[in-house]
Amino acid sequence: MEKNENNKFLGEEKISKLLLRFSIPCILSLLISSLYNIVDQIFIGNSNLGYLGNAATGIVYPITIIAVAFAWCFGDGAAAYLSLCQGRKDTKNAHVSIGNSILMTFIISILFLLLGFLFEDKLLYLFGASEKSITLARDYYEVILAAIPIYMLGNSMNAVIRADGSPKFSMAATAIGAIINIILDPVFIFGFHWGIKGAAYATVIGQIASLLVSIYYYTKTKTFKLSIDSFKINWPIFKNVIKLGISTFITQMSIVAISLVCNIMLAKYGEMSPYGSDIPIAVIGITMKVFSIVINIIIGIILGAQPILGYNYGAKKIERVKETFKKVALASFIIGILSTILFEINPSIIIRIFGSNEELYMEFATLTFRIFLMLVTFTCFIKMISIFFQSVGEPFKSAIVSLARDIFFFIPLVIILPQILGIKGVLYASPIADILGMIVTSFLVIYFFQHKLTNVSKETEDNFALKDSQDGLIITIARTHGSQGKEIGRILAKKLNIPYYDKELTALAAQESGLDKEFVSNINDHKDILHELYLTTSPAKYAIEAQEKAIKEIAKKGSCVIVGRAADYILKEQKNIYKIFIYAPMEYRMKNVMAMYQDTKEKAKKNIEKSDRNRANYYEMISGQTWGKKENYDFCINAKNGKEKTAELILKLIQKEQE
């Protein structure tokens, strides 16, 4: 079996060349998305609406993030499920997940619209509206809210387009909406004198255009076709959609939490300052959106690096992991430093783009850029490290890095510091959170590189060859942990004088993918396999594809015994196959595990439960079926009488079937 050329490319091509190839499209896509969030404020600020208009859009912005959190949860979840279905050649359920996602997005959007109008003023005041800004906030909010189903459906559908293999079309749909918004903003605001409603109308028309482009794509999809049946709610499938999309939802809701707390404190302490509440809210909205451009460049770079990092870490090419990390860290540092220089030396260049030259406004805006974004380089590094940990299979560290700065430090600081420093306390919360977040991040990075990477060494590759065999039956064995399924399979193979594949399968898959044998071997024990399987560039996906190819190549060679790896499902079309599931009572399994690993009784039970849970998750994601369900196997056998007797029983059952 020859190594896959795409994988070889990731493992051997020059790192800088790979980064340019993968990162530039990511950066462009993210920057286009940023335009929606920033264009309105530029034109509004330069109109007679001034900073009050920008305060109004800043008040409404977090409310739209709540809407998009649901849209992305369902959209990303459906996109993930589509990719899983593509991997297992499942055309039956793919369209159902997408139809359900669209339907639920629409239902939630209608509820959101109704509740949004019902609690309009309460929401606007909650997010920082004042008596001066409430009228403008209502005008902008009501137009945006009326079109919220369009906005949510467009965002949800766009994620599926990417998963269907059309990332450029997905980017084009977003770009068309952004361009229309840019063109119509000055026409409606200045030409028609529609004020802030004009900005809202321009945004909505851009959203309609993006949705129409997405709908057009759905008439010519590549891997699925929607029908009436697609929109019938299927709760088992939709639950998987939510599972796969929930991390996106949590990320977006954390942004809402930050915005809400920040706006509340700015409104409260702004009233006690010379600036009032509207100037701080307008300025912080502009500051965050300018900062989003910087951070999106960093995210684009590290997202482009994900396949490079993930593959080479899985292949234990540690020097390439380190080189990629250094290049990405250097790029993040340079972008952070250049941004800091601009924000510190002459922030007025940026501030004036958004209009309003009032003295108090300019004073607070200058303070905000210089204090709030003082350590933007740290913020960039923290965000980069969070995604780096995702890429090398460290989701817990990634979550800690991501949450530490924003949730654990920034939110408490933004509540506490204003009590001491007044309105400036809100601004100083950001650099102090950056320092604390950087300390946590640095500790985790140093630990990872000193302990995790130094303990990883690439094993000498075994050029393992397939074993010759005669035509005949193929036996696949799935088993609960501790039921001695491996030993039973080995005994069966010996009795039948046919090849046995367990670790050998791992060696074949490692050769095919270029990944490390240990990495491939541990794939079905990977607790986050659910979230990684659908990623096109995930090393987990490479390993699984290689395993499937190895299993099919083994079956071509003739009669054999294959243990685990969802082989029963992968070979479901194979003739003369017997699919066996081996189980045993818990006490029997605990006894075996305790003897094998010298575990205590309690630890043995926990290990069994964890292993069975991981195997079930893996099998479900590969096959869409339930692991251990008797309908999926030819025989389900209790191994309580020992491995020798169980092997004999399996042989007798097969012989009886063949008579």
Percent of the chain that is helix, strand, coil (3-state, to 5): 75, 5, 20
Token pair, residue 49, equals: 């609406």
Average pLDDT over residues 198-226: 93
In whole numbers, what is the pLDDT of the chain averaged over residues?
Answer: 85
The answer to the question of residue 20 being in a domain is yes
pLDDT tens profile 548-576 = 888 888 888 888 898 888 888 888 888 88
Instruction: Place 2 in a pLDDT band, splitting at 50, 70 and 90.
Output: very low
Instruction: Place 1 in a pLDDT band, splitting at 50, 70 and 90.
Output: very low
Edge-first strand listing for the sheet containing 577-583:
500-501, 560-563, 474-479, 577-583, 635-638
Domain ends where: 254, 284, 316? 254
pLDDT tens profile 108-118 = 999 999 999 99
Structure confidence at residue 459 (pLDDT): 47
Say which amino acid occupies 88: R
Structure confidence at residue 88 (pLDDT): 66
The answer to the question of residue 85 being in a domain is yes
Rounded CA separation 297/30 (Å): 8
pLDDT tens profile 344-384 = 998 888 888 887 778 898 999 999 999 999 999 999 999 89
Average pLDDT over residues 287-294: 88
Element (H, E) at 505: helix 503-513
User: Do residues 69 and 105 make contact, with C-beta atoms less than 8 angstroms apart?
Assistant: no
Report whether pLDDT(471) > 90: no
The answer to the question of residue 5 being in a domain is no
Together in a domain, 18 and 64: no
pLDDT tens profile 20-74 = 888 888 888 788 777 766 888 888 888 888 888 888 888 898 889 899 999 988 9
CA dihedral of 491, 494, 496, 502, whole degrees rounded to 10: 70
Structure confidence at residue 13 (pLDDT): 82
Percent of the chain with pLDDT over 90: 33
Domain ends where: 185, 220, 254? 254
Together in a domain, 182 and 321: no
Instruction: Place 87 in a pLDDT band, splitting at 50, 70 and 90.
Output: low
In a 3-state reduction of DSSP, which class is residue 93? Answer: coil
Report whether pLDDT(6) > 70: no
Average pLDDT over residues 632-638: 89
Together in a domain, 635 and 590: yes
The answer to the question of residue 3 being in a domain is no
Element (H, E) at 281: helix 278-314
Structure confidence at residue 457 (pLDDT): 47
Token pair, residue 470, equals: 């005669």
Largest CA distance in the chain: 95
The answer to the question of residue 82 being in a domain is yes
Structure confidence at residue 524 (pLDDT): 62
The answer to the question of residue 524 being in a domain is yes
Together in a domain, 438 and 359: yes
Together in a domain, 340 and 246: no
Together in a domain, 529 and 453: no
Range of the domain at 282: 11-27+273-458
The answer to the question of residue 40 being in a domain is no
> What is the end-to-end Cα distance of the chain in Å, rounded?
36
Rounded CA separation 392/497 (Å): 41
Give strand ranges (E) for 426-571: 474-479, 500-501, 560-563
Instruction: Place 462 in a pLDDT band, splitting at 50, 70 and 90.
Output: low
Structure confidence at residue 382 (pLDDT): 93
Q: Structure pTM?
A: 0.78
Domain ends where: 197, 224, 254? 254
Together in a domain, 497 and 385: no
Average pLDDT over residues 244-254: 81
Structure confidence at residue 652 (pLDDT): 87
Q: What is the tally of structural domains in the chain?
A: 3
Together in a domain, 15 and 65: no
CATH number of the domain enclosing 590: 3.40.50.300
Structure confidence at residue 39 (pLDDT): 80
Together in a domain, 486 and 575: yes
Report whether pLDDT(461) > 60: no
Decide which of 306 and 453 is more confident: 306
Q: Which residue has the tokens 């420093």?
A: 421
The answer to the question of residue 400 being in a domain is yes
Structure confidence at residue 168 (pLDDT): 83
pLDDT tens profile 417-428 = 999 999 999 999
Token pair, residue 249, equals: 């939802």
Structure confidence at residue 504 (pLDDT): 75
Structure confidence at residue 421 (pLDDT): 93
165-179, 444-458, 614-628: least confident range = 444-458
Structure confidence at residue 525 (pLDDT): 59
Together in a domain, 127 and 234: yes
Average pLDDT over residues 259-284: 90
Going from the C-alpha of 320 to that of each of 13, 317, 352, 418, 616, the distances in angstroms are 10, 6, 44, 46, 34
pLDDT tens profile 508-519 = 776 666 666 666
Together in a domain, 520 and 649: yes
Q: Is the dihedral of CA 310, 76, 286, 198 positive or negative?
A: positive
Together in a domain, 189 and 284: no
Instruction: Place 334 in a pLDDT band, splitting at 50, 70 and 90.
Output: very high
